[in-house]
Amino acid sequence: MTESCALAGKSCIPCKGGVPPLSGKELTALAEQLSPEWSVESGHHLTCTYTFKNFKQALAFTNAIGEVAEHENHHPEITLTWGLVTARIWTHKIDGLTESDFILAAKISALEKPTS
């Protein structure tokens, strides 16, 4: 099992605030567990863009992300355009990253990409 798969096997925990965002070694260690398509932007959020052959595939993937987000009760910012889906994840309550953000990113990475 890869580390990313280990993250994908966890569940997001709702943040009640009052905790500092991840930084330093903790942030780096979790970032290294994600697939290389994900990037940490300004130590504040995670971003990944997926490409598809058409709008229909991109929309299907967007809906799949939405299903995961609802199940985890952790909701990313999703941008859908023709053939592209970009996911941005951070914990709004603390305006930064928590382990749950990395868990959601790993779950998104594990989704099957639509092919038709």
User: For the chain, which domains are there?
Assistant: 3-9+22-109 (3.30.1360.20)
Give pLDDT tens digits for 21-79.
Answer: 999 999 999 999 999 999 999 999 999 999 999 999 999 999 999 999 999 999 999 99
User: CA 91 to CA 68: how far, in whole Å?
Assistant: 16
Give pLDDT tens digits for 79-90.
Answer: 999 999 999 999
Which tokens belong to 114? 């639509």
Report the Cα 115 to chain-centroid distance in Å: 21
**Burial state string for 16-49 with b = 16 or more CB within 10 A and e = fewer than 16:** eeeeebbeeeebeebbebbeeebebeeeebbbbe
| Contact by Cβ (8 Å): 95, 21 | yes
pTM: 0.93
User: CA 18 to CA 11: how far, in whole Å?
Assistant: 20
